[in-house]
Amino acid sequence: MKVVCNSSMLVDGVRAAARVVSQRATLPILQNIKIEAVLGEEGGKMLITGTDMNTCVKKAIPVEEIEVEGATTVPAKLFLELVEQFREAKRISLELRGNLLFLRDEDSESEHSLPTVPADEFPLIPELAKPQVCEISQSMLRKMIRRSAFAAATEESAGVCTGILVEIEGDKLTLVATDTHRMSVVRTSIPTPMQERVEAIIPATVMREIHRLLSDADEPVKLAIDVTHMQIETGDMQCITLKMQGQFPNYKRVIPTQFARRLVIDTKEFITKIKRVALHANEDIPQIVMRISKDKLIIVAEDPEAGRGKGKEVLLPIEYEGEPIIIAFNADFMAEFLSNVESPTTLVEMNENRQPVVMRPTLASEGEEWIYIAMPMQPPEETEF
């Protein structure tokens, strides 16, 4: 193998593939990434692949010249650290000589060598069998992941709740995440309706990696699901990941449909005042208490045992319908949702102070829907406002 390529593109390709490589892998070959130089009808390209056996990322980058086709594997961490040092170089050559891969800056006399392992020892990449496929823009999928992933559980003991449900049904693509105390449901329309419903539970950590791999462009991405895997594919990237096993909570059952109270509030002002007040709350479980009435919304927080003082903020609701209520929330749960809301105002729908609360942006693009459900906390017996 002998190839010349752009250094910046090489760095981006290696970084994408190396992100899924585990340095604690039990099989030494899994600490490597595969590099393959191939010639095609449209010219030459380099395929860079990394895997941990559960998730595989393959990135294709164009090359300036392929003198000899071929493939090998190199240590992912070391190779990434090396190529990042050459990002400012214009042209990098990679040449396989025996069991060493030589990297050389074409504009200087710099040369480095890395140990290799034959490419035929690298795991085979799985292929999906009769998948259901939908297509949306990369920017939309990134937005859906961003709006859902923060609500997934982080403790391994939470099982499938550490994952995100990806559901294709009819002409809708839905992503759902929950840690059982809150839930985020994001839905968008897809151009071609599916004949049958399919779903996959994918680890939230993997979905965050997919978010990084995609761009904010309106270029299409294909999302495919079969019995065992989900695949994301763009023009130059492919990510295949194993589905989690288990039954995801029935998210449709927990979404209230009728409400006794309705609040419309300025999004930016709401999150700003929540963050201020939360500075006085318990650091581990930052509870804030709200008193909502027709003329104003008061937010307070204090943790007397920790000596953090007391915070109080007042907002004027843009609109409020219903009886006054005192209700408590985890400030982090509120702030994480509101920080992703692009709408200037947010709708908050409630019943009683121990029943699920539904929040959503008041403005959304056509075909988009985002619902956030949060369980209130037990308010203190006495709260001074």
Q: Which token pair is 27? A: 């099989």
Q: Which token pair is 341? A: 């809301």
Confidence label for 31 from pLDDT (cuts 50, 70 and 90):
very high
CA distance 332 to 349: 19
Q: In CATH, what number does 256-374 get?
A: 3.10.150.10
Q: Which token pair is 379? A: 């308010």
Average pLDDT of the residues of the chain: 94
Note whether 221 and 141 are within 8 A (CB): yes
Q: pLDDT value at position 306? A: 74
Rounded to 5 degrees, what angle do the CA atoms 55, 127, 33 make?
Answer: 45
Q: List pLDDT tens digits, range 184-243.
A: 999 999 998 888 999 999 999 999 999 999 999 899 999 999 999 999 999 999 999 999
How many C-beta neighbours within 10 Å does residue 86 have?
A: 20
Q: List pLDDT tens digits, range 163-186.
A: 999 999 999 999 999 999 999 999
Q: pLDDT value at position 385? A: 79
How many C-beta neighbours within 10 Å does residue 1 have?
A: 21
CA distance 184 to 168: 16
3.10.150.10, 3.90.1150.10, 3.50.50.60, 3.40.50.280: CATH of 2-121:
3.10.150.10
Mean pLDDT of 349-371: 94
Task: Please say if the pLDDT value at position 154 is more than 80.
Answer: yes
Cα 270 to Cα 84, 306, 354, distances in angstroms: 42, 25, 21
Q: pLDDT value at position 88? A: 85
CA distance 227 to 307: 54
Quick one: which H or E segment has residue 222?
strand 220-225
Confidence label for 89 from pLDDT (cuts 50, 70 and 90):
confident
Task: Please say if the pLDDT value at position 310 is more than 80.
Answer: yes
Q: pLDDT value at position 317? A: 82
Q: List pLDDT tens digits, range 326-338.
A: 999 999 999 999 9
Cβ burial 44-70 (10 Å sphere, 16+ → b, else e)? bbbbbbbbbeebbbbbbbebbebeeeb
Q: Which token pair is 36? A: 């393959």
CA distance 333 to 194: 34
The dihedral formed by the CA atoms of 305, 309, 311 and 312, expressed in degrees to the nearest 10: 100
How many C-beta neighbours within 10 Å does residue 210 have?
A: 23
Q: pLDDT value at position 87? A: 84
Angle between helices 267-278 and 331-338 (to 10 degrees): 150
Q: pLDDT value at position 366? A: 86
Q: pLDDT value at position 61? A: 96
Q: Which token pair is 8? A: 């910046």
Q: Which CB contacts under 8 angstroms, 24+ apart, belong to 300-304?
A: 300/383, 300/384, 300/385, 301/277, 301/331
Rounded to 5 degrees, what angle do the CA atoms 136, 142, 145 make?
Answer: 110
Where does CATH 3.10.150.10 sit in the chain? 2-121, 132-253, 256-374
How many C-beta neighbours within 10 Å does residue 172 have?
A: 17
Q: Which amino acid is at 139?
A: S
DSSP string across 277-317: HHTTS-SSS-EEEEEE-SS-EEEEEE-GGGT--EEEEEE--
Q: List pLDDT tens digits, range 331-358.
A: 999 999 999 999 999 999 999 999 999 9
What ranges in the chain are assigned the alpha helix state H? Answer: 7-18, 76-84, 138-148, 204-213, 267-278, 331-338
Q: Which token pair is 261? A: 């109270």
Note whether 221 and 138 are within 8 A (CB): yes
Cβ contacts of 109 within 8 Å, gap of 6 or more: none
- 110 beta partners: none
Confidence label for 2 from pLDDT (cuts 50, 70 and 90):
very high
Q: Which residue, among 276, 258, 257, has the nearest Cα to 331 in the 3D structure? A: 276
CATH class of domain segment(s) 132-253:
alpha beta
